[in-house]
Structure 1
Amino acid sequence: MEEIGFLGLGIMGKAMAMNLLRHGFKVTVWNRTLSRCDELVEHGATIGETPAAVIKKCKYTIAMLSDPTAALSVVFEQGGVLEQISSGKGYIDMSTVDAETSSKISEAITSKGGSFIEAPVSGSKKPAEDGQLVILAAGDEALYEEALPAFDVLGKKSFFLGQVGNGAKMKLVVNMIMGSMMNAFSEGLVLADKSGLSPQTLLDVLDLGAIANPMFKMKGPSMVNSSYSPAFPLKHQQKDMRLALALGDENSVPMPVAAAANEAFKKARSMGLGDLDFSAVHETVKSGKSSS
Structure 2
Amino acid sequence: MTKFGFLGLGIMGSAMAANLVRAGFEVVVWNRNPEKCAPLVALGARQADSPRQVVEQCGVTFAMLADPAAAEAVCFAGGGVLEGLPPGHGYVDMSTVDAETSQKIGAAVLARGGRFLEAPVSGSKKPAEEGTLLILAAGDAGLFEEARPALDKMGKQSFYLGELGNGAQMKLVVNMVMGGMMAIFAEALALAEKGGLDPRQLLEVLAGGALANPMFKGKGSAMLAGDFTVNFPLKHMQKDLRLALRLGDEVAQPLFAAATANEAFKKARSLGLGEEDFSALFRAVKAD
Q: TM-score range by the shorter chain?
A: over 0.9
Question: Could you tell me how far 1:87 is from its partner in structure 2?
Answer: 1.9
Q: TM-score, with normalisation over the residues of structure 1? A: 0.98
User: Which residue is 1:191 aligned to?
Assistant: 191
What is the aligned partner in structure 1 of residue 54 from structure 2? 54
Instruction: State the partner residue of 2:71.
Output: 71
The residue that corresponds to 2:273 in the other structure is: 273
Report the equivalent of 2:39: 39
Q: 2:125 corresponds to which residue? A: 125
- Matched with 1:103 is 103
- What amino acid is the match of 1:169? Q
Q: Deviations over 1:65-119 (max 9, x none)?
A: 0000000000000000001113221100000000000000000000001000000
State the TM-score, normalizing by the size of structure 2.
Answer: 0.99
Mind listing any 5+ residue stretches in structure 2 that lack a counterpart?
none
Give the aligned length: 288
Instruction: Determine if the alignment matches structure 1 residue 151 to structure 2 residue 151.
Output: yes
**1-side partners of 2:100 and 2:75: how far apart?**
15
SS at match of 2:91: strand
Equivalent residues of 2:6, 2:61 under 8 A apart:
yes
Query: Residue in 1 aligned with 2:202?
Result: 202
**Paired AA for residue 62 in structure 2:** I
| Alignment partner of 1:249 is 2:249 | yes
Q: What pairs with 1:173-188 in structure 2 (closer than 5 Å)?
A: 173-188=173-188
Structure 1 Cα separation of the partners of residues 178 and 164 of structure 2? 23
- Runs (4+) of structure 1 exceeding 4 A deviation are none
Q: Do 2:55 and 2:86's aligned partners in 1 also have CA atoms closer than 8 Å?
A: no
Root-mean-square deviation (Å): 0.6
Q: Distance in 2 between matches of 1:285 and 1:111?
A: 48
Q: C-alpha offsets along residues 229-285 of structure 1, whole Å, 9 cap, x if unaligned? A: 110000000000000000000111111110010001001000000000001111111
Equivalent AA in structure 2 for residue 204 of structure 1: E
Q: Name the aligned partner's letter for residue 196 of structure 1.
A: G
Identity of aligned residues (%): 61
Query: Could you tell me which amino acid in structure 1 is paired with residue 110 of structure 2?
Result: T
Residues 154-185 of structure 1, C-alpha deviations (whole Å, 9 max, x = no match): 00000000111000000000000100000000
1:21 alignment partner in structure 2: 21
- Shift of residue 209, structure 1, vs aligned partner: 0.5
- Give the Cα–Cα distance (whole angstroms) in 2 for the partners of residues 96 and 54 of structure 1: 21
In structure 1, stretches of 5+ residues that fail to align are none
Letter in 2 for 1:267: K
In structure 1, the residue corresponding to 2:162 is in which secondary structure?
coil
1:10 corresponding residue in structure 2: 10
TM superposition shift of 1:43? 0.4
Aligned residue in 1 for 2:240: 240
Letter of the 1:174 counterpart:
V
